[in-house]
Structure 1
């Protein structure tokens, strides 16, 4: 075993395969509330919760102790043989607070797994229902549903998909509900929402209504479009179209769910109930890898009264320690009144963003819900023209913010997978007003240094 000296560059001896080999990441050694601390002692304000994960912040003793207690009792029992108490309790708690109609919980280890499970369940549901001709999935451009092949196929971000094209499933993609870019002059928000939703019916009719199994969408689009909020009435019309043609509605709340937008399930604010919903990230708050797919009783009973076997699974689904962590996190969200706090602190964050950047010559749109906020950057506010992709604006801002002691989530390709830049903010739900001010100041420093 190699021993590293305290001052040695970890990249010189590391055998880790990093996300980016040209970036020399510092070593994180501890967390303290809304901050992460590296080996040198530098503190970073976690303004994006990693990737909208750390909703409770870092070092929550209640969650940590719950996981430790579970490990002392039972670390692992394969779900091919057993269920476990924390898994059962977590499922009960989720269904108790889920939109009416959702009835069953399939635990997994992350968002990509939840999306894969949702797609496969939709297909098996129709096979067991006697409609095997239904196998087509419709999703949206500029969406992100995960990095496994099925989830990546459903995602509509061309930059992430391009080199894997020959491996991907044949999934149809319609335009997102993106009023900043796609609403026409003089068109009301409500009218635009109806027009955007009509694209789903048009695509169902083009493919053939009897061939479509599901439509998949994020209620509030996260990583690829920067907290893109739907127009009023959009999802109500989407739900009606799905019902009209017998198509399942799959909502991906991996990033925007679990309180992030101001309600435990993001779809609550749009007045719709999906047939299947995917959650992760905030479900474990970073303390354990966990995700879940929830479905209606009707879908579950179709499988249960048919083969009885969902032909899917992973080794660590329903892991007891992960379930114990998830149970502690959801309990904390509910019992500490953190979701109402997301609403109030989210408004504070939005107000501060508008005050500082609302008239910035390179800020085109500030959007989002709760503590899930996005800033779309433009070269010119009047024309909404984006920066040239070769400038790498998002990457530069990410680096500058990190140097200033702020973790945020800038991304490029906002418009079409290639053009456009945005910054996504998703701080811990425990953030205080003084830390919101710190976030704004450090973000301002980063944007000014780049633009």
Structure 2
């Protein structure tokens, strides 16, 4: 590569984006791309919002930066926290603002650890997370992430006080003889057994994505799952940390994804991505009053901080993003367009030979592909089916997310659609139309290869893997 930038992918030159408007961006070649994933579910207002630009400019003309470690604050920091927590959703009353989702996870873990020290229970150092989860790329966030390939390089650095239980992934993990309630009961028992194995007095928190994103693809939790999890955490006085960096801030149709789970809420929650819409990096940690009180009545100091924590200009941008979402009733649009997205996907992909499952909530949807959907036989790990769909889609002017490596026990070939909240019906139909064409282009080769596998499914899979 000629570029002096150490890009994340070194196998090809990245295309250069020169402008953006609405749900599209334009490349230096002149090609227009529909951003059907909003980046990685970030650009909730699309790629241009003049009033956000004005809010940022106004704040920079007032004061661009205030150091959170000093004895000073600023209006945007205070206003954004008040805006998000005005009604104390789920008992959440305090906010910490940082930059990336990974930073938010680290801050949440440190906050939970400090909480127990302040409570006089320093032995509570164990965290329980879920397999095939992803909470960020810093060492702390990776320690509680069950993403196999992203952990692999850094295993020697990762914390040894984290253990993992199964994800809530009924499509692949619910046994044929199990009812939905029995499956949830089995997962709940597994979590409780792990707490008892570690010793409840040593467990600080259970960490989970309310609706997992890139690892297993927009899987809504089975009914009753989080009610059972909340009850177990309460039984053993363990903190519940919910990661809504990707699925939260309206993406599933409610401001917080957990609001659809029939629980009072988490003790600590991470947010990001759609919080500021990508205009300036911003994420956050929300905490309940009991967590805050333990520290206020104890040391009186939050033992955590970053140079750019609670950046006033980023907070100013987020205030305007959240104002627009409320002003334009965009959560209603998320719900309405989400229903259309669901119906269009099911209609247009009904006859696709490798489509196994279509799932999601709001504008947070995934299509999972299987070598044999009828028997739920997955592709081999080297098939690279979904990323080939992503490449085909890119050529058709459609940006979507695909499989992000080996995430663990279940090999999941999927693509994610999470368009901006401003998307309209015509755009939804065009997105699904182009996705269908991309899938059909990849299918032509795979169907031929599978049909040639007269010796059985293994032969078909071997032939597919051989040419890939």
Normalised to the residue count of structure 2, the TM-score between the two structures is 0.92
Pair 1:226-2:223 in alignment: no
Q: Is the 8 A contact 2:90 2:266 kept in 1?
A: no
Deviation at 1:60, TM superposition (A): 1.1
1:46 counterpart residue number = 35
In the alignment, structure 2 segments of 5+ residues that lack a partner are 444-468
Pair 1:277-2:298 in alignment: no
Pair 1:320-2:312 in alignment: yes
CA–CA distance in structure 2, aligned partners of residues 75 and 345 of structure 1: 37
Divergent runs of 4+, >6 A: none
2:171 counterpart residue number = 180
Deviation at 1:378, TM superposition (A): 0.5
CA–CA distance in structure 1, aligned partners of residues 296 and 407 of structure 2: 43
1:155 counterpart residue number = 145
2:242 counterpart residue number = 251
> In the alignment, which of 6, 11, 20 is matched to residue 31 of structure 1?
20
Deviation at 1:408, TM superposition (A): 0.2
Q: Residues 412-431 of structure 1: matches in 2 within 5 Å?
A: 412=404, 416=408, 419-431=411-423
Deviation at 1:413, TM superposition (A): 5.2
SS at match of 1:216: strand
CA–CA distance in structure 2, aligned partners of residues 346 and 98 of structure 1: 27
CA–CA distance in structure 2, aligned partners of residues 123 and 47 of structure 1: 38
SS at match of 1:389: coil
CA–CA distance in structure 2, aligned partners of residues 139 and 98 of structure 1: 26
CA–CA distance in structure 1, aligned partners of residues 118 and 384 of structure 2: 48
Pair 1:208-2:193 in alignment: no
Normalised to the residue count of structure 1, the TM-score between the two structures is 0.95
Q: Residues 339-378 of structure 1: matches in 2 within 5 Å?
A: 339-378=331-370
- Is 170-179 or 440-449 further displaced after alignment? 440-449
Deviation at 1:199, TM superposition (A): 1.7
Go from structure 1 to structure 2 and tell me whether the alpha carbon gap of 1:318 and 1:415 turns closer, same or farther (over 3 Å shift).
closer
- Is 365-374 or 417-426 further displaced after alignment? 417-426
Q: Residues 430-449 of structure 1: matches in 2 within 5 Å?
A: 430-449=422-441
Number of residue pairs matched?
A: 440
Pair 1:242-2:237 in alignment: no
> In the alignment, which of 403, 406, 419 is matched to residue 398 of structure 2?
406
Q: Is the 8 A contact 1:250 1:276 kept in 2?
A: yes
Deviation at 1:74, TM superposition (A): 0.8
Q: Is the 8 A contact 2:249 2:275 kept in 1?
A: yes
Deviation at 1:64, TM superposition (A): 1.5
CA–CA distance in structure 1, aligned partners of residues 296 and 371 of structure 2: 55
CA–CA distance in structure 1, aligned partners of residues 431 and 268 of structure 2: 35
Aligned-residue RMSD, C-alpha:
1.3
